[in-house]
Structure 1
Amino acid sequence: MIKRTVLGALGVLLLGYLAIAITIWLHALDLLGHPPQRAADAALILGNRAYRDGKPNPCLTGRVDTGISLAKEGGVRQLVLSGGIDREDGRVEAEVMQQHARDAGYTGTVLLEPVSSTTRENLSMSLAVLQTAGVKSVIIVSEPYHLWRVERLARAAGFDRLFDVQYAAAPTSCWRRWGMLFKGALREPLAIVNNAANGYF
């Protein structure tokens, strides 16, 4: 009886986990197929691990590349880069992103939020930077599987009340690699459950 109850509970948890994962992926594919349609004052690019295997993390730089593409196409006027100290190597994610943008030839305005260490902090700590710059509309950039959670955290942080918000899914090399897809599928539902359990959205 106890074994059956435990197996039943595990089955329910697994089904819930799979439901969240499927929701994330369907939303990711929808965003990839529907990029932002309106120009905005700024692209807010969310941070990630700064370096991987001694090189700038392609999961991070790919997000910056998406922001640069938006700027080149006239979709945004400036980039806001959000991310604090990487605990693994001590680099500041926002500064790594800024260096990548400059190395890639981007000469436009770059604003930094160099303190945050979580997605929720990326959003909340970027509010003052955006408001000081007079931003009224913003495109939030991250990887496709990340954005379902980002949208809900953004609502909780008041972004939809303060700015006209759109979302851009960054088709980074991490997104396209099966290993990173698998990692995202495993990790992101857990992050969603954790954020919900803590009342963040």
Structure 2
Amino acid sequence: MLLSAWLVLGVLCIATDGLTDDVQPADSLLVLGNTVNSNGSLSDRLQARLDKAIQLYHAGTSSTIVVSGGLGKEGHYEGTAMQQYLLRRGIPAAAIVVDNAGNTTQATAQNFTVIAKKRGFSSVIVVSQFFHLSRTKLLLRQQHFAQVYGAHANYYEARDAYALLREFFAYHTYLMKG
């Protein structure tokens, strides 16, 4: 019973954290990758993440968008596909930094930390699905990146329930590794 209560409380905390955007001026937006379809189009989840970043960029929240993802099984680099989407939506090339080696959330956190040090970034807003934000922020903090905030994409689907459960275990795995 105690384990069940811990699970329910943990899932509620992850959902609450992810659905409560903490948006303030930051040096960078960090958009995590997701599926690029075999025809090169973006999954709805990925497009929603980028649309949120575009909204924040136009609001003046940050002048830099870092896009991070890996080579998907569909044969496309997520970072490059994300960059192309942003360019088509009027974001200047100089405002976009591409990380095509972010194959996992942990790799994205490590790669972003290197990018941040080179560019002098001290603050970041992570943009992803709501259930993904707590773990991503944790991983960035474990990389000694102190000013980490989050903003969730406005896209929801039934599989989010499974994703929340998966994130509970993933979050605690990285918390213990910390």
Residue of structure 2 aligned with 1:104, choices 78, 84, 89: 89
| Aligned residue in 1 for 2:54 | 68
Rg larger for: 1
1:51 aligns with 2:51: no
State the TM-score, normalizing by the size of structure 2: 0.86
| Aligned residue in 1 for 2:152 | 169
Letter in 1 for 2:84: Q
Q: Which protein is richer in helix relative to its size? A: 1
Query: Does the CA-based 8 Å contact 2:10-2:168 persist in structure 1?
Result: yes
Q: CA separation in 1, counterparts of 2:57 and 2:173?
A: 34
> Deviations along 1:41-86, whole A, 9 cap, x unmatched?
2111122233389741121121111111111111111111111111
| Aligned residue in 2 for 1:36 | 23
| Aligned residue in 1 for 2:166 | 187
Task: Identify if the C-alpha distance between structure 1 residues 67 and 49 changes in structure 2 by more than 3 Å, giving closer, same or farther.
Answer: same
Query: Does the CA-based 8 Å contact 1:47-1:122 persist in structure 2?
Result: no
Q: CA separation in 1, counterparts of 2:2 and 2:50?
A: 39
| Aligned residue in 1 for 2:134 | 148
Letter in 2 for 1:113: D
| Aligned residue in 2 for 1:14 | 4
1:25 aligns with 2:8: no
Alpha-carbon offset, residue 105 of structure 1:
2.4
Task: Identify if the C-alpha distance between structure 1 residues 54 and 131 changes in structure 2 by more than 3 Å, giving closer, same or farther.
Answer: closer
Alpha-carbon offset, residue 98 of structure 1:
0.8
Letter in 2 for 1:193: H
| Aligned residue in 2 for 1:7 | none
Letter in 1 for 2:125: I
1:77 aligns with 2:56: no
Task: Identify if the C-alpha distance between structure 1 residues 52 and 168 changes in structure 2 by more than 3 Å, giving closer, same or farther.
Answer: farther
Q: CA separation in 1, counterparts of 2:132 and 2:119?
A: 26
RMSD (Å) for aligned C-alpha atoms: 2.2
Letter in 2 for 1:98: Q
Q: CA separation in 1, counterparts of 2:144 and 2:36?
A: 27
Query: Does the CA-based 8 Å contact 1:82-1:93 persist in structure 2?
Result: yes
Query: Does the CA-based 8 Å contact 1:47-1:82 persist in structure 2?
Result: yes
